[in-house]
Every structure is written in C-alpha cells, then in structure tokens.
C-alpha cells in the first residue's frame, strides 16, 4: 500500500499572503532607513569617527533589510507557483479519473 498526502493549497495561499505582507513591512522599513543619513559632523568634530562608523552600520542594516525583502518575495513567488502547479495537476488528474468512470 502506498502512502499518500494531501496538499491544502488554501493554506499555502494564506501563508504566501502573510509572507507578502511581511515583505511589504520590511520594504517600508527599508524605504525609511534609506532616507536617513548621518553626516560627518553629526556629533561634532570629536564624534566624526563615531558618525562614520554609524553610517557604515546603517548601510549594512539596509543591505540586510534588502536581502530579507528579496528572500520573502522569492518565497512568496515560489509558494504561489507551487499552488498553481498543485491545482493544475489536481484538475488534470480529476479529469482523467472522471473519464474512467
């Protein structure tokens, strides 16, 4: 006897929507972070090194946010593609089996 499984495409679709929402939130955070810069004189002459370091950290943070957005968008697209594939195969097999009846 072979084992079987059921794919609940509605659940996958809901999960993809949640991931898309998270990507949107992170994109908004990235847009906000991209508008903020720290100038060399932000902390006066003695704080120039600190300002430079913080500006570099801000850039690294933006890259991290950008990577997270890309990953979530890729996962969302993959889930939606999987749903389409499962639904298409299900319809094809249902039609094939319906023709045998």
Q: Residue-wise pLDDT tens for the chain (101 aa)?
A: 578 888 899 999 999 999 999 999 999 999 999 998 888 887 888 888 888 888 889 999 999 999 999 999 999 999 999 999 999 999 998 888 887 65
Q: What is the CATH number of the domain that holds 39?
A: 1.10.287
| CB crowding 29-45: b at 16 or more within 10 Å, else e | ebeeeeeeebeeeeeee
Q: How far apart are CA 48 and CA 25, in angstroms?
A: 32
Domain membership flag for residue 70 = yes
Asked whether residue 88 is assigned to any structural domain, the reply reads yes
The domain of 75 spans 9-100
The answer to whether 68 and 33 have CB atoms below 8 angstroms apart is no
- pTM here is 0.80
Q: What is the tally of structural domains in the chain?
A: 1
Show the beta-strand stretches assigned E in the chain: none
Q: Is residue 42 part of a domain?
A: yes
- Residue 85 inside a domain? The answer is yes
Q: Using CA atoms, how far apart are residues 42 and 51, in angstroms rounded to an integer?
A: 6
The reply to whether 4 falls in a domain is no
Give a yes or no: residue 71 inside a domain: yes
């Amino acid at each position: 006897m072979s084992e079987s499984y059921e794919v609940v495409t509605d659940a996958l679709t809901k999960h993809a929507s949640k991931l898309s929402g998270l990507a949107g939130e992170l994109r908004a955070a990235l847009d906000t972070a991209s508008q903020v810069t720290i100038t060399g004189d932000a902390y006066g002459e003695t704080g120039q090194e600190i300002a430079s370091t913080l500006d570099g950290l801000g850039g690294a943070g933006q890259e991290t946010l950008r990577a997270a957005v890309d990953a979530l968008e890729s996962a969302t697209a993959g889930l939606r593609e999987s749903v389409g594939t499962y639904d298409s195969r299900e319809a094809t097999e249902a039609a094939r089996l319906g023709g045998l009846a």
